[in-house]
Amino acid sequence: MRAAAGKRGFQVARHFNLVGIAAMHLGAVWALWHYGWRPLDVAIAVGFYVLRMFAITGGYHRYFSHRTFKTSRVFQFLLALVGTTATQKGPIWWAAIHRRHHRESDGPNDVHSPLQRGFWYSHIGWVLSAEHEAYDEREVRDLVKYPELRWLDRWHVVPVVATIALTLALGGMRGLTWWYCVSTVALLHGTFTINSLSHVFGKRRFATTDDSRNNWLLAIVTMGEGWHNNHHRWQSSTNQGFYWWEYDVTYWILEALSLAGVVSDLRTPPQKVLDEGRRGTPAPFREVVANKLDAVAGQASELGEKVRDAVSLPSPADAE
Ligand SMILES: [Zn+2]
Ligand SMILES: [Zn+2]
């Protein structure tokens, strides 16, 4: 059962991706070069970044992908709506790709693993590629049952176009390039560092089966997502900073929203995981080597398939 957003939606999305992301980068460069750093523009761009980074980390990631807390249908829609203005496609698509990332983490079927297709592909190449537009509805059964989420997922370009129109109406070209382009480009790269850098640089507190890392700098940029090795160890926890010194602004905001009664049932990791982390057990050497060998074996078999296709040889399975 492939696809979910319909062919027309995919075509729109594909062109929007390539041309839109390139134009957004040009707009950001133009803003910095032509308009300079006016404090009001910087403040609006930062504010818009923080709001949408929260919609991605608290909404797309911790709510839609992992269901780590509960909320009303209205706030669920609001998280999805603000999330779409981050220009990272729809919430259902995002959750489906992300659930696969956890299941296949750093294996051959992980869409954005730096171990599989290199750093740049894991950072942004996979988003620009037309390969990953479709998703398996079976991975997101809990989300596709909401018609309003399906609509947003299919027409995720609508809130983006509305945001562009609004910034243009309120601030002219300066508003469009500074408030939308600069802020959104920073947001895209900030989010994507979790797929690329957080699987390469940082410390491994837990011996997970992937290459995820904890990185304090990325935790600042992404409002708490940099504790990515913690997250791969216990993905159903709302907080990703497991200890008091691990800065997790997204979780602090969710705690405040929980006190206000907007969200509820925030989940935390069990004591045994916290104790395991305190012991600071490094990944056993054997396990690290086994992971690397698995990744290499996956690449080798894929390459074998390609060579077999290229010379039109039957695969061993077909020959039997
Ligand atoms: Zn996750
Ligand atoms: Zn990861």
Per-residue model confidence as pLDDT tens digits over 270-317: 999 999 998 875 555 455 556 666 666 766 776 777 777 777 766 555
User: What DSSP designation does 227 have?
Assistant: B
Residue 270 is assigned to a structural domain of this protein: yes
Comparing 12-26, 87-101, 156-170, the range with the smallest average pLDDT is 12-26
Residue 307 is assigned to a structural domain of this protein: no
Residue 301 is assigned to a structural domain of this protein: no
Give the C-alpha distances (Å, rounded to integers) separating 37 from 42, 43, 45, 178, 307: 7, 10, 11, 9, 52
Q: How far is the CA of 247 from the centre of ligand 1 (A)?
A: 17
Q: Determine the pLDDT at residue 23.
A: 94
Residue 206 is assigned to a structural domain of this protein: yes
Task: List the one residue out of 57, 138, 69, 55 whose CA is nearest residue 100.
Answer: 138
Residue 251 is assigned to a structural domain of this protein: yes
Residue 112 is assigned to a structural domain of this protein: yes
Q: How far is the CA of 110 from the centre of ligand 2 (A)?
A: 10
Comparing 134-138, 140-144, 226-230, 255-259, the range with the smallest average pLDDT is 134-138
Task: List the one residue out of 241, 221, 216 whose CA is nearest residue 231.
Answer: 241
What is the rounded average pLDDT of the residues 179-207? 92
Q: Which residues surround ligand 2, an ion (CB under 5 A)?
A: 212
Ligand number with the minimum distance to the CA of 194: 2
Residue 320 is assigned to a structural domain of this protein: no
Question: What are the DSSP E strand ranges found in 202-314?
Answer: 263-264
Q: How far is the CA of 112 from the centre of ligand 2 (A)?
A: 9
Give this prediction's pTM. Answer: 0.83
Q: How far is the CA of 91 from the centre of ligand 1 (A)?
A: 13
Question: In total, how many domains does the chain have?
Answer: 1
Q: How far is the CA of 66 from the centre of ligand 2 (A)?
A: 13
What is the rounded average pLDDT of the residues 200-210? 90
End-to-end CA distance of the chain: 28
Ligand number with the minimum distance to the CA of 105: 2
Residue 180 is assigned to a structural domain of this protein: yes
Q: How far is the CA of 297 from the centre of ligand 1 (A)?
A: 25
The answer to whether the CB of 206 falls within 8 A of the CB of 240 is no
pLDDT band at 320 (very low <50, low <70, confident <90, very high): very low
Ligand number with the minimum distance to the CA of 235: 1
Q: How far is the CA of 231 from the centre of ligand 1 (A)?
A: 7
Which comes out higher in pLDDT, residue 58 or 130? 58
User: Which domain covers residue 119, as residue numbers?
Assistant: 7-279
Q: How far is the CA of 312 from the centre of ligand 2 (A)?
A: 36
